[in-house]
Amino acid sequence: QVTLWLKKIYGNQPIPQYEVNARTVDILYELVECNEARDRDVSLLIEDMKQRAAEYEAEANYLQGLLAESLDLSLSSLSSEGTSYLNVLVDSAMTLETKDTSLASFFCAINDMTSELYATESKNREMELELTNIRKKLTAALMLEKQLEGDLKKTEERLEVEKAKADSQSQNLKFLKDKSEDLKIRIKAAE
């Protein structure tokens, strides 16, 4: 089956060399199955498109015959303005994806699009509100960070001042201890 598929794929060209073992054959077999499944899906899609085209053509012929019989109108007898209006009507029906050009179909399609528009606008408003809340929280966090940086800087400055004071007091204490020791020695010497 793999060999037949490769011959079908490459046609008249020679099949490239590949290592024939269980793994490569399994991989190629999976490719065969996927390719054939895809081909079947595409065939079904093509048949569906052909059927739809035939249905649309039959509908167009019916409507053209109806116009010709009841109103004695044909596409060739329409003015350029009438043809333009008809093209606008067809384009509108295609854009709105209506099943036909009846007024009810247009109203339904317009209502659906309006509902979709309102839903999208509502979602956009919710997202804008969420974005605004996130911006507020971010701004508050940035302000808090700035405040904390300022407080940290002030604390570090105070710490340096206190450290300088402590160093000065430590030196004064050492001086007083040394002076006290010196005085004790002098007192003993004087005694």
The pLDDT tens digits of the residues spanning 14-69 come to 888 888 888 888 888 898 899 989 999 999 999 999 998 898 888 878 877 776 67
Residue 98: the pLDDT is: 80
Residue 87 binned pLDDT confidence (cut-offs 50, 70, 90): confident
Spacing of C-alpha 60 from chain mean position = 41
φ, ψ of residue 106 to 5 degrees: the values are -65, -45
Q: Which is more confident, 97 or 158?
A: 158
Residue 183 binned pLDDT confidence (cut-offs 50, 70, 90): very high
For 47, the token pair is 């048949």
φ, ψ of residue 100 to 5 degrees: the values are -155, -175
SS3 for 3? helix
